[in-house]
Structure 1
Amino acid sequence: MRILIVILGAVMLSACGQAPALNDFNEYLTRIANVQDTDALPAPDEQLQRLPEKRDVTLPVESLTIGLLDSYELRKCDLFNLIAERNSVLGKVQDGFHRFDYEVQLLQGLTRCLANPDISAKLHKQLSEIETIKRHDLPLHWYNLLYNSNAMRSQLSSHRWLDSGWDVSQITRALQAMKQIQQAVTSQQLAINLPRLTPFQEVLDKQPLLGDLKYSLDNATLWLITIHHQLADNDQQIICGPNRNQTKLTYLRNVFQSYYVENIQPYLARLDALYLQLAPSLSMFEQQESSHYHFAIEKSHQAFRDATRQHMQYWQQLFQRCSVQVGSSV
């Protein structure tokens, strides 16, 4: 008896620990199967939001040694201290965010130096060659930042459903800044007032909103597809028409109202609205020709939209077949 109590307690604790969205989908599927007098389809396998290993998504960037610290001419355009800091003990172990900010600052400094008439012809030639290489490599640094920096890997990974209580204001500001930087990288227009990435590093690391959103879109899609098959494959169990026993239809409609309309649909609407709110800043994750991987949240959202539409089409067809007016009693 004591063992049985322990087992039941563990099951109850496990159920309580599940996300509300997962509980709602589980209950929705179970109730539909009960009305149909059939076995419920197995729950879909959880799809975790994981990034490939760093070594599999790293774009190689050739190391470039800038042996210019002996040239005090660099002080004329505020480049001497920047390069010196980069070559310090701490500078050599910078994380991805600090390293990317350095690359941008370096290019901005090179532009200033090349426009300075007091720079010697010899140094001008050296800086021009370095600038050409650095401009070519900057998109590679950007890609590696997105998928190899610890903060962004934390931001884009998830194993949990999105909590409806998210405060998205900080993430929104971070993504807007990143979009501005990405556009500058693409156009090679590195304005002096371009925002620094480093101030956004902590919020991107500690609040993995994008990973949670993609995980939720992917797994909601899997659940909607499974439930659609449950409904469509057993549609013949739902009888309706004059002089027919419509008890199952009544029960099924109540399940639709109580579980989908009142619980699941509002959550799906929040996922959709959040994606649309963030979408203008998500172009940085689009597939690039030279990249090995991209964070395909746009594809996840489209699949989510398709699965939601397919799910609602079943109910529309059922209600049309059985002459049920939405909002009326059966």
Structure 2
Amino acid sequence: MSKSILQYHMLGLFFSIALLTGCERNSTELAFQSYHDRLASVLDVDTKPPPTTSMIPFPDVRELTLPNPDVRISLLNAYELRKCDLFHLIAERNSILGKVQDRTHQLQYELLLINGLNRCIAIFDNQSILDNNSALHTELVLLETLKQQQLPHHLWNMVVGGKEWRQQFSPVSVTFELNHFPGFVESQEAFRNIAGITTNILTKIPTSKQSIDALLYHQEQIHLFRYYGQLFYSMTRARDWLLATTALLEAQENTISCGLNRNQQKATYLRNVFFKFFAEPIQPYLAELDSQYQQLQPDLITAFSIISPPLDAFTPYHRTYIEGQLHASFRAATLKHVKFWQRTFKRCGIKLGN
């Protein structure tokens, strides 16, 4: 086994162990559970079991893959394209290895081919050799038109069907650990690049070779992560914990006696729990989830707009995680929880801060 393959398997094993360990003693899950239990103890009520969290799955690849008829130029005509440095690219694609490329390599080829065809057409348009190659010129113009029309399908099929890309969006039933969000930078850079390519395809602007080459680099960078699936699960899980805990508090709100000439003991205990178990560990975590999603959402919206409107099988997932329904419900649950504390502290005359 080569060193690179061994490293790949070791990294994969490390990630699997990390996820398994996270299932056993996830710091975020423990933080929400401890917070909920301490509040129940102060309020002198029974603790509730952890909330149930369900996710909309990323649809099966067979439901999402779009057809793309194979349109190729004959090698005889391709040989004439030596004049514009396109013959070698087409010959590689027609080789045995070229026929079994993964979807990232396929997209790279299509983008490079479009650029090459545009270059060849421009050269033929400006040279007298056009008079002797009118049939080839016509074929190139037709091929460029057909290939341009197929680019959205190639990009879509890569994102929803390429192993490394697809796994990013499959839900992972493990939340991020507190203060640890692996894969954020790699995913942000990868989909920033894809969003740029998407914009180029939709506006028929040539994609730079640098952006095309970067696809394979980003595919390698993200292969150890399932970042978006974990982000979406973490937001959903946090929302469910917040709703359950807020419901616990609101059900006992009338039992919190406080104010002028009243016993403030329960309110003081609740304040201490708020600061120790929510304000310090959980609130920054919620803010980071919110921040990361807001930074990433514009590129996700752009990348998935390559097929618009969304496919029927993809619509529930797109509406919830890409368009932002989950994010909206996550923020609403956070705000509802915070508002409980704001009105309680105001009613009890408890000042925040030093």
Q: Does 1:305 align with 2:324?
A: no
Per-residue CA deviation, residues 23-63 of structure 1 (Å, 9 max, x unaligned), is 000111111122222223332223457411101112222x1
Q: Which moved more, 1:292-301 or 1:179-188?
A: 292-301
Give the secondary structure class of the aligned counterpart of 1:260: helix
Kept in 2: contact 1:155–1:206 (CA 8 A): no
What percent identity do the matched residue pairs reach?
Answer: 37
User: In 1, Cα distance between the equivalents of 2:206 and 2:54?
Assistant: 39
Q: How does 1:229-248 map to 2 (within 5 A)?
A: 229-248=247-266
Q: Provide the C-alpha distance between the structure 1 equivalents of 2:258 and 2:151, rounded to a whole number of angstroms.
A: 65
Could you tell me which residue of structure 2 aligns to residue 66 of structure 1? 72
Runs of 4+ with deviation above 6 angstroms: 13-16
**Alignment match of 1:190 (pick from 206, 212, 215):** 206
Gaps of 5+ in 1: 1-12
Aligned ranges 1:191-230 → 2 under 5 Å:
191-196=207-212, 197-230=215-248
Q: Does 1:51 align with 2:49?
A: no
Unaligned runs of 5+ in 2: 1-19
Contact kept? 1:107, 1:134, Cα under 8 Å: yes
Instruction: Report the AA paired with residue 70 of structure 1.
Output: L
Aligned to 1:178: 194
What is the TM-score normalised by the length of structure 1? 0.86
TM-score (norm. length: structure 2): 0.81
- Number of aligned positions between the proteins: 315
Letter in 1 for 2:290: D
Give the Cα–Cα distance (whole angstroms) in 2 for the partners of residues 245 and 316 of structure 1: 19
The 8 Å contact of residues 155 and 207 in structure 1, kept in 2 or not, is answered as yes
* Counterpart position of 2:173: 159
1:318 aligns with one of 344, 348, 353: 344
- The root-mean-square deviation of aligned C-alpha atoms, in Å, is 2.4
1:41-89 CA-partner distances (Å, limit 9, x unpaired): 332223457411101112222x133241112212222222212211211
Give the residue type in structure 1 aligned to 2:70. L
Aligned partner of 1:130: which letter?
A: L
Choose which of 77, 80, 91 in structure 1 pairs with 2:87. 80
Q: Distance in 2 between matches of 1:259 and 1:222?
A: 17
CA 1:225–1:147: 2 relative to 1, 3 Å: same
Alignment partners' CA distance in 2, 1:106 and 1:290: 27
SS in 2 for 1:282: helix
- Partner Cα separation in structure 1 for residue 103 and residue 159 of structure 2: 9
The residue aligned with 1:136 is: 149
Query: What is the rounded CA distance, in whole Å, between the counterparts of 1:326 and 1:224 in structure 2?
Result: 21
Match of 1:102 in 2: 109
- The alpha carbon displacement at 1:194 in A equals 4.9
In 1, the alpha carbon distance for the partners of 2:295 and 2:309 equals 28
